[in-house]
Structure formats: structure tokens, C-alpha cells
Amino acid sequence: MSREKFFRSLVFYCLLLIPASLLQAGYVYPLEIFTDNGIYYDSPDLNLYVEVSDGEAGQVDFTFYNESLLDSSIARIYFDDNSLLGIAGVTEGIGTSFSQPGTPGNLPSGNTLEPPFVATDEFSFDGDSPIPHNGVNPGEWLRITFDLINSSTFATIIDELDAGTLRIGTHIIALPDGSSESAVTVPEPATIVLLGFGSLALLRRRKK
């Protein structure tokens, strides 16, 4: 049995032992760097992800986390949306401050993806000046809330993320060598429910 299969099995059995009241209705998507502008693009010390959770009635929350062990800042956030969402608001954690729209208007190097990443109008967000001070730095978080429109549901959003028809891109700056990189959510065929007491179930898929 491979290490990944063993870990998935371990998580599954752990979930069976946890009361349902401790589970959050959240799905974790790693933010995978697809550029290689510096020496840290594939560093195992970079841990960036977004938790997607069922918000208040008719809304969905996207909470961005930076749990990296090295200097880094999520400075810009972009959504490549399939007309399922309408922006509702931004909740800033301690140390973060963001505004919209983002500059540039599209994810840097997003045109190199297949299909190309095209940010939906107004669905882009920038850390306020001075960046990276107001970006999502290690230990910080930022939540973006959308209204569900066009008869979409939370389950629809998860299906779109897993199919890759809804993508989220981020631009990471202030790495130790001064470089910046771009990352995107990767469809997860076995997305794991986030445990209420931490990220035990977060299975990170590192770039090979």
C-alpha cells in the first residue's frame, strides 16, 4: 500500500471515531504553484490553501490560509468563475487588508494554464499598500464571501471546483529570494472534510 493510500485510510478511520458535531462543512483545496520564477516554487515549507465552506443562507465562504514556514505573502486573489457567484464581501483577519479589483486584472502567468485562467470581472482582490505587509502572511487568513446565484448551491460550487470549471488563483510575493509565484486550486478527486480541531485531514498534493 502506498503512503498516500495508507494516510487516506488512516484519515477515514479517524473520521469514523469523531462525533459529527466536531466536523465542519468545509473542503480544503491546496493552492499549487505552477510557475518557477525562483528557488522556492516547490519548497515543502510553502503551505497555502483555501477552505470552502457553506456560509449563511445562500452564501459560500472562501477562506485563504498561509501556514508556510518561510516568508511569503498571498498578495492577490482571482476567481475564474462559471457565473455561479456574486461577490458579497470580504472579512479580513488580523494583519490583512484587501480591496477590489486586483491589479493586474488577471492572475500573473494565468494565460500559460490549459485552459487559460481568465479572471471574472470584479472577481479579483489586492492586498492594500504596503504589500506584502497587508497580504496573507504566515499565520494569517482572509475570507471572501460570495452570494450563490443562478440556482447554484454549495454542492454545485464543490462540484465546479472538483471539475476545474471554477478555479481560484493567487499571486504569492515576498519569498526569501525576492521572487514571486502564481498558484491555482487543483481539482481534488477525493476532497476531505476539514476536521473541527485542525487540519489533520488536509492532504497536500505537492508539485512533482
pTM of the entire predicted model? 0.81
**What's the whole-number mean pLDDT along residues 171-196?**
79
Give the CATH fold of the 23-195 domain: Immunoglobulin-like (2.60.40)
Residue range 88-130, pLDDT digits in tens? 999 999 999 999 999 999 999 999 999 999 999 889 999 999 9
Local structure of residue 136 (DSSP, 8 states)? B
Q: Is the pLDDT of residue 200 over 60?
A: no
Coarse DSSP helix, strand, coil percentages of the chain, rounded to the nearest 5 percent = 15, 35, 50
Q: What per-residue confidence (pLDDT) applies to 7?
A: 47
For residue 161, give the amino acid letter: L
What pLDDT does residue 52 have?
95
In a 10 Å sphere around its CB, with 0-12 CB exposed, 13-18 middle and 19+ buried, how is residue 56 labelled?
exposed
Tens-place pLDDT, residues 35-83: 999 999 999 999 999 999 998 889 999 999 999 999 999 999 999 998 8
Give the residue-averaged pLDDT of 174-198.
73
CB 140 within 8 A of CB 66: yes
Question: 143-170 in b/e burial notation, b at 16+ Cβ within 10 A?
Answer: bbbbbbeeebebebbbebbbeeebbbbb
Residue 195 pLDDT: 41
Measure the CA–CA gap between 139 and 166, rounded to whole angstroms.
26
Contacts of 198 (CB under 8 A, 6+ apart): none
**Which cell goes with 166?**
471554477
Domain limits of the chain? Answer: 23-195
What's the mean pLDDT in 20-48? 85
